A and B are shown apart, each in its own frame.
Chain A
Amino acid sequence: MPKMVLMQGDEAAALGAIRAGCRFYAGYPITPASEIAEVMSRELPKVGGVFIQMEDEIASAAAIIGASLAGVKSMTATSGPGFSLMQEAIGYAVMTETPTVFVNVMRGGPSTGLPTKPSQGDIMQARWGTHGDHAIIALYPSSVQEIYKYIITAFNLAEKYRTPVVFLMDETLGHMRENFIMPSEREVFIYNRLREEQIKEEEVFLPYETEEYAEPTPQPLVEMGKARFHVSGLIHDEAGFPMANPDIADRLVRRLVEKIRLHADEISIYDEYMTEDAEVLIIAYGITARSAMRAVKIARNDRIKVGLFRPITIWPVPRTRLKELLSRVNSVIIAEMNLGQYAHEVLSLTKNDVRVKLVNKVNGELITPQEILDAVTELQSGIVGYY
């Protein structure tokens, strides 16, 4: 039996990233993500990686994109205010299709807000923070064990789909310490880059070329070396050279969105708890999902048929499964520590005759199981009308 240890959320994120192959970290300390930088600065040099504290978050984000293009997996970690600064660079990573991982340990906002209190206010920023049409992958685990597991997934998805991946956490999750079991070699899958020798020397490497199938899959990025190519944030052709051709522009932007949208089912990860016969469905993610889980247990004790759906990939939304569940239940509760950012997305999937109740909180405290239970009671007694 593997040994259990006490592990902090931020620590797990850093160690998981190193396990996934991250060898470059650039960041700027910010509560509550400072511990990630702290662990990285200590652990990365031991495995031959590079840790650098940049002058700000803008430079950090730019540095990890550069590092990734130069051939190593890279990551940065920040919180709300820093994440705002990184948005421009995220757009650049989307356009240049550079695999990177941006950890955002969410704290109360807007602006400097509540530095030592949790929030889930950056859900929409993770999706639409940067400008222009794009698709993004965002993951949000809800326990220390999961942080380790899914940050590896985040790196894998970034490499596979060649896109920046936003890894969301919150202050409670980041600072909390919990039981942790180090996964064995067999339990961890790591997606590696193409190595130099895997490409033929005489062949031209076109980094932005995709085969014209129904589902475009980007080709993996090559480690630095023989395969030299051009990188530009402007609309570019398959070789990476800027082109203002309308056809090329159309094809590129569509491809950037489609490569994730068409693979949404493949990418999406979710968890369910007692949804088989549920009449009331609670949708919650991250740390709130744990309150919801307790609420489900208490409600089931009182023979109320409540189930929990927990999206782990916040973006893309696990649409197919969610739609299926929403068609079966008669009421939905969406619990989140913001004023209904994800509810907006969920409600676009519901039929009109589903009763909806939102549980929102923005005071820097967790949503308690009691608050979710109150919503269940309200729905059961039929006091609430249609949304």
Chain B
Amino acid sequence: MVLNMPVTLRFAGIGGQGNILMGIVLAKSLIKEGKWVVQSQSYTAQVRGGPSHCDVLYSNEWIDYPKAESFDVLFALHPTAIPRHYMLLKKNGVFFIDTSMMNVETFSCMEPENIPTGFPIEICRITRKILGYPFTKAAIENFKTGVVANMIGLGALVKVTGVVTLDTLKETIAETVRKKYVDMNLKAVDFGYGVFQKEYKLKQKKKKHPIGFE
């Protein structure tokens, strides 16, 4: 029997940033592409400002265990989410960081001056695929509101990881979001799609080094 582990993504931030909506939109798009999905969330009694996160798991077959212990993709929409969740990132997983509320613009493990104060440097030992971008700032500058920061993030996520196609994502957003705001959200996704140039493949098979027995 082949054990298939689902691909796992986590969107973490604080309540009110729309990280659960990000997960729902992504889960709907994944279903459109014929995947089996489980989306679950965690939030506190605080409606806004409390820690909250949303997990999306997808696979080509039915997912039995609905929770994940480690993640292929981690998306931190708020700096407070970083110390809470970074240890759950898989080795060489992709880490997105919203740097709007940090004192740096770009992010690199190689350049110490680009590492913000208080940032857990251990992350650089887990992965080098760290992508920092001021999503919220960009949303305020370009769309005059911070609400679409999550959609810019989704655009960027789709570009980098390729979990779904841009067309499916846009189609889902057009169906999910209220009519009045569809245009703005679609523009935000397009904007996000152009943020990063890098592309990382998820689900790279681990290299095995068998010793004897095989």
Contacts and interface: CB of A to CB of B under 8 A. Distances in A.
A177 B34 CA distance: 15
B65 A369 contact: yes
Given A172-B40, A301-B3, A6 B27 contact: yes
Contacts of B38: 176-178
Contact of B31 (A6, A176, A287, A301): A6
A293 B64 CA distance: 7
Contacts of A116: 42-45
A298 B3 contact: yes
Nearest to A295: B65
A300 B1 contact: yes
Contact of A176 (B34, B36, B39, B62): B39
B127 interface: no
B208 to A, nearest CB: 16
Contacts of B69: 368
Interface in A107-132: 115-116
A291 B31 CA distance: 23
Interface residues of B, number: 23
Nearest to A291: B65
Contacts of B73: none
B43 A177 contact: no
Given A6-B37, A301-B1, A176 B66 contact: yes
Contacts of B186: none
A267 B94 CA distance: 49
B67 interface: yes
A369 B6 CA distance: 14
Interface in B33-88: 34, 36-45, 62, 64-67, 69
Contacts of B39: 6, 176-178
B24 interface: yes
A298 B5 CA distance: 11
A259 interface: no
B34 to A, nearest CB: 8
Interface in B107-123: none
Q: Which of B1, B39, B40, B64 has the most CB of A within 10 A?
A: B64
B50 to A, nearest CB: 10
Given A4-B31, A116-B44, A177 B24 contact: yes
Interface string B3-41: 100000000000000000000100110010010111111
Nearest to A298: B3
Q: Which of B1, B42, B43, B66 has the most CB of A within 10 A?
A: B66
Contacts of A294: 64-65
A294 B34 CA distance: 22
A149 to B, nearest CB: 15
Given A176-B38, A176-B39, A6 B65 contact: no
Contact of A177 (B1, B37, B45, B67): B37
Nearest to A145: B62
Q: Which of A179, A294, A298, A366 has the most CB of B within 10 A?
A: A179
A175 interface: yes
A6 B28 contact: yes
Contact of A178 (B3, B37, B45, B65): B37
A5 B27 CA distance: 10
A293 B40 contact: no
A177 B27 contact: yes
A369 B27 CA distance: 24
Nearest to B67: A366
Interface string A290-308: 1101100110110000000
A306 to B, nearest CB: 12
A204 B111 CA distance: 90
B177 to A, nearest CB: 15
A175 B40 contact: yes
A78 B131 CA distance: 43
A176 B40 contact: yes
Nearest to A178: B38
Q: Which of A5, A116, A178 has the most CB of B within 10 A?
A: A178
A352 to B, nearest CB: 33
A175 B66 contact: no
Contacts of A291: 64-65
Q: Which of B24, B39, B44, B65 has the most CB of A within 10 A?
A: B65
A366 B68 CA distance: 11
Given A6-B37, A176-B40, A177-B39, A297 B3 contact: yes
Contacts of B62: 179
A297 B63 CA distance: 12
Interface string A358-378: 000000001011000000000
A274 to B, nearest CB: 10
Contacts of A293: 64-65
A178 B45 CA distance: 24
Contacts of B41: 175
A178 B27 CA distance: 8
A176 B66 CA distance: 8
Nearest to B42: A116
Interface of A: 4-6, 115-116, 172, 175-179, 287, 290-291, 293-294, 297-298, 300-301, 366, 368-369
5 contacts: A6-B37, A178-B39, A290-B64, A290-B66, A293-B65
Given A6-B37, A178-B37, A179-B37, 6 more contacts: A6-B24, A116-B45, A172-B67, A177-B38, A368-B65, A369-B65
